[in-house]
Amino acid sequence: MPEARFTLCDSIGKKVRVAQAVVDGLGLKNVECVNARVESLPGQWDWIVSRAVTSLENFYPWVKGRFRNSILYLKGGDIETEIAALQKKYHVPSENIRTWDINSWLNDEYFAEKFVIEVGKNYLCTP
C-alpha cells in the first residue's frame, strides 16, 4: 500500500529498533517508527491498530478523538466484560462496536480465544 502512510509506535526502544530494521530491510518509504507512548503523539490517524497493551477501557482515552475511522484492537480473554466497561464509561454505543474471532480466520491454537475488536464511528451503524 504505497499510497498509505503508517506510523508504528511503541514505548520500548528495542521494539522500535527492530521494527525500523524491518522497514529498512524491506525498503518501505511510507512507514515511520516512533519511540513514544501513543498518547504523547500529536496528530490524528485514519485507523489505529493495536495489540492488547492494556484494557480497552484504559486504551480508549489515549486515542479518543484521534482516529477518523476505527480502532482495531487485538485482544484475548473476556472481551465482553471489557466492551461493557468501555461502553459504560465512555458511552460508546453497541452499534459502533464489532468483534471478530481470529481463530475463524486462522485455525491455529495460538489464536484460540483471541479477537479483533473494532471501535468505530457512526459509519458502522449504516447497513
Alpha-carbon distance of 105 to 101, in angstroms, equals 8
pLDDT for position 92: 93
Q: Given a cut of 50, is residue 127 above it in pLDDT?
A: no
Using the predicted structure, report yes or no on whether residue 122 has a pLDDT greater than 80.
Answer: no
Between 25 and 95, the higher pLDDT residue: 25
Residue with cell 511510507: 30
pLDDT tens-place string over residues 54-92: 999 999 999 998 999 999 999 998 999 999 999 999 999
> With 60 as the cut, is the pLDDT of residue 125 above it?
no
**Looking at residue 124, what is its pLDDT?**
52
- pTM for the whole thing? 0.86
CA-CA distance, 24 to 103, in Å (whole number)? 31
For residues 62 and 36, give the distance between their C-alpha atoms in angstroms, rounded to a whole number. Answer: 13
How open is the CA angle 87-57-91, to the nearest 5 degrees? 25
Pairing of strands 6-10, 114-120: unpaired
In angstroms, the CA 85 to CA 27 distance is 41
Place of cell 484494557: 55
